[in-house]
């Protein structure tokens, strides 16, 4: 089936991430081509020198090595001038002893409008959003948070890891993976879509290839 073109302002899951030239604290970058062959997480924040955003940037930086282990880069964004970003980075280094190593986009509003992350009901600041993009430059996940709620960084790491495992093994992840309440760290085998396969599932489960609660709910340990 031919992929339909998305004419909405906000990109949708499965869309190619829009090609954008951005000014950052590490110079001018072209994304997503700058991250070709890698996953990347683009996250927006309402403004520099704000309490919740400061805690988030520290948390992102402290986990930067974990993202890199997953072949995943980070890039921040807000509608602030690059001078404000640089000054804020300096404040974080001086007062919290954390050096921000990933780039931050200094946006005039063009990038935010392209991504649909300025919401009229929340003023002119960028909302607290997360975009996860794969090595093929496809948008795989979007998250939005209100200004008063900081992000859970370990959850974002879990998301990237889970998407990579899903792509590699053609499986899905249960709730709270890898600590699901009924199947632990097992992954879910895609449901059977025909009668023949549904019957084969039960037989394979009996042979110990995987485990099934029923033909449509089968799971296995990832080896």
Active site residue 53: yes
In total, the chain counts a number of residues equal to: 223
Helix-strand-coil split of the chain, %, nearest 5: 35, 25, 40
DSSP for 44-98, written as a single string: E-S-SS-HHHHHHHHHHHHTHHHHHHTTEEEEEEESS-HHHHHHHHHHHHHHH--
Catalytic choice (53, 72, 212, 218): 53
How far is it, in rounded angstroms, from Cα 122 to Cα 112? 13
Rg of the chain over CA atoms, in angstroms? 20
How far is it, in rounded angstroms, from Cα 89 to Cα 182? 44
How far is it, in rounded angstroms, from Cα 71 to Cα 160? 10
How far is it, in rounded angstroms, from Cα 149 to Cα 152? 9
Are the beta carbons of 115 and 20 closer than 8 angstroms? no
Residues with catalytic annotation?
53
């Amino acid at each position: 089936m031919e992929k339909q073109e998305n004419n909405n302002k906000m990109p949708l899951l499965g869309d190619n991430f829009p090609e954008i030239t951005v000014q950052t604290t590490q110079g001018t970058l072209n994304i997503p081509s700058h991250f070709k062959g890698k996953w990347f997480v683009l996250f927006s924040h309402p403004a520099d020198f704000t309490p919740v955003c400061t805690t988030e940037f520290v948390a992102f930086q402290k986990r930067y090595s974990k993202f890199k282990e997953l072949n995943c880069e980070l890039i921040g964004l807000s509608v602030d001038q690059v001078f404000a970003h640089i000054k804020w980075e300096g404040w974080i280094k001086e007062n919290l002893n954390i050096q921000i190593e990933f780039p931050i986009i200094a946006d005039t509003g063009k990038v935010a409008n392209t991504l649909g992350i300025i919401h009229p009901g929340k003023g002119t600041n960028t909302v607290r959003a997360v975009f996860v993009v794969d090595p093929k430059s496809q948008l795989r996940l979007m998250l939005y948070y209100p200004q008063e709620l900081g992000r859970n960084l370990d959850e974002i790491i879990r998301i990237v890891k889970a998407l990579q495992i899903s792509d590699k093994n053609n499986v899905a992840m249960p709730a709270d993976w890898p600590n699901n309440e009924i199947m632990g760290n097992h992954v879910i085998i895609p449901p059977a879509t025909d009668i023949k396969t549904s019957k084969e599932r039960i037989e394979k489960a009996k042979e110990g290839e995987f485990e099934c609660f029923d033909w449509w709910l089968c799971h296995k340990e990832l080896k």
